[in-house]
Structure 1
Amino acid sequence: MFPWQNIDTVLLDMDGTLLDLHFDNHFWLSLVPQTLSRQRNISQEEAQTLVESAYEKVAGTLDWYCLDYWQTELQLDIIALHHTLVDRIALRQDSMPFLAALKQQGKQRILVTNAHPKSLALKLEHTELKQGLDAMISSHETGYPKEHPLFWQQLIAQFSLDPARCLFIDDSEAILAAAKKAGIGYQLGIKNPDSQKPHKNFSDFPAIEDYQLLYKELMT
């Protein structure tokens, strides 16, 4: 699928790419509206409409990914709510073998996430993900989400990357497009970010549902 001899660094999204997106989807689409419904004594439908409208207002911006923003905006203890669901935080089954294969082949592995640092810390605490990475960066450190070109400029400069020799893996086609526009040489989508939901279709980028395909390529 890729000319691995031309790839030095693999940039990896976290939620939906290395971790099962089920945790985040359940949190933001079920637990938050349910909690809001109880707290404000409104119907589940009203709460659902309220949060979906709030989400749409800031979609694609850094606020969308910011736990502090949502704590203020929704007047909910978002951090405490996260801790009630830690049993749902899970690695994709194919992630660690793939990360180990990348290391064996001498590829640099950098986590590139829009996750808020507090969310990132919680997920690292409850998985072994950190052991499979060489470095990591949250977009909140740069002031720009991955959808923004300045995020990529800062990433490339911070790690002294040759963007043409990087592969970026993400479950969002819009973010893959942003990476391509920023000069990242190779892009790959993930069709099954949430283990509990149907697979996604990608129109403009190659996409897989199992890292075993890449693992075989790497190890031959």
Structure 2
Amino acid sequence: MSPIKAFLFDLDGVIVDTATYHYQAWKRLANELGFDISEEFNERLKGVSRMESLDIILAHGGLTVSDEQKAELAEQKNQWYLDLVGRMTSEDILPGVATFFSQVRKANLLTALGSVSKNAPLILERIGMSQAFDAIIDGTKISKGKPDPEVFLKGAAELEVSPAECVVFEDAVAGVEAGKRGGMFVVGIGSPDVLTQADLVAPSLDGLTVDEVLAATVA
């Protein structure tokens, strides 16, 4: 019998893929600052907070700006990103997510969102999944980004379960590390060559079953 009581999900790359919108907005910002970033470079920004991402981009462009300018640049990027996200619909939910969530509900498991994005509630609203979660922990509720486990520990606390009773679903290396540091079983969504710290890895939620995940936690 699995002791698991809750599933905690990252948003980006697990439920939806807004990485492309982040990339378009960051690329536009870089271009306006006089340089470019590639999709390959953008991989370094996955699971990283907005200000940290900006620091990485400015370093890449060899630019040093004041804290005030940084705040303005981050806000500009976010506005461009929100313009793109505002056009999202339920069509943007990744394949297999709806089926997996119906299995989660049938198994009477609790659910929480654990995202560093401050825009997570807006995205959930746009795709019609706000009601799919018993708790929503986003960037407005945490002070430390991943790989710090704060976002997942807060999710467990809101659900009133222990970390050992949680499974985390993550697509980013920093997120997998956060889940492991929080003492949780982690399902990596992506490549086993990249998500080496995960306890179980699947290419996506499509085709993955709740029974399979629960069986792995007691294996």
Pairwise same-fold verdict (TM > 0.5): yes
1:41-190 alignment, distance < 5 Å: 42=34, 46-48=35-37, 60=48, 63-64=51-52, 72-73=72-73, 76=76, 78-84=78-84, 86-87=86-87, 90-116=92-118, 119-184=119-184, 186-190=185-189
Distance 1:48 1:145 in 2: 23
The 1:130/1:70 distance shift into structure 2, 3 A limit, reads farther
Give the percent of matched residue pairs that are identical in Structure 1 and Structure 2.
Answer: 16
Q: Equivalent residue for 2:21? A: 27
Distance 1:84 1:177 in 2: 29
* SS in structure 1 at match of 2:127: coil
The answer on whether the counterparts of 1:139 and 1:146 sit within 8 Å (CA) in structure 2 is: no
The answer on whether the counterparts of 1:71 and 1:77 sit within 8 Å (CA) in structure 2 is: no
1:182-201 alignment, distance < 5 Å: 182-184=182-184, 186-191=185-190, 201=194
Distance 2:74 2:214 in 1: 48
The 1:108/1:124 distance shift into structure 2, 3 A limit, reads same
Aligned pairs, number: 194
Q: Give yes or no for the alignment of 1:213 onto 2:205.
A: no
Q: Equivalent residue for 1:196? A: none
> What is the TM-score when the length of structure 2 is the normalising length?
0.71
The answer on whether the counterparts of 2:4 and 2:214 sit within 8 Å (CA) in structure 1 is: no
The answer on whether the counterparts of 1:65 and 1:114 sit within 8 Å (CA) in structure 2 is: no
Alpha-carbon shift at residue 210 of structure 1 (Å)? 3.5
> What is the TM-score when the length of structure 1 is the normalising length?
0.70
| Ranges in structure 2 where 5+ consecutive residues have no aligned partner | 55-68
Alpha-carbon shift at residue 35 of structure 1 (Å)? 5.3
| Ranges in structure 1 where 5+ consecutive residues have no aligned partner | 193-198
Q: Equivalent residue for 1:15? A: 12
Q: RMSD value over aligned CA atoms?
A: 3.6
The answer on whether the counterparts of 1:36 and 1:76 sit within 8 Å (CA) in structure 2 is: no
Alpha-carbon shift at residue 219 of structure 1 (Å)? 11
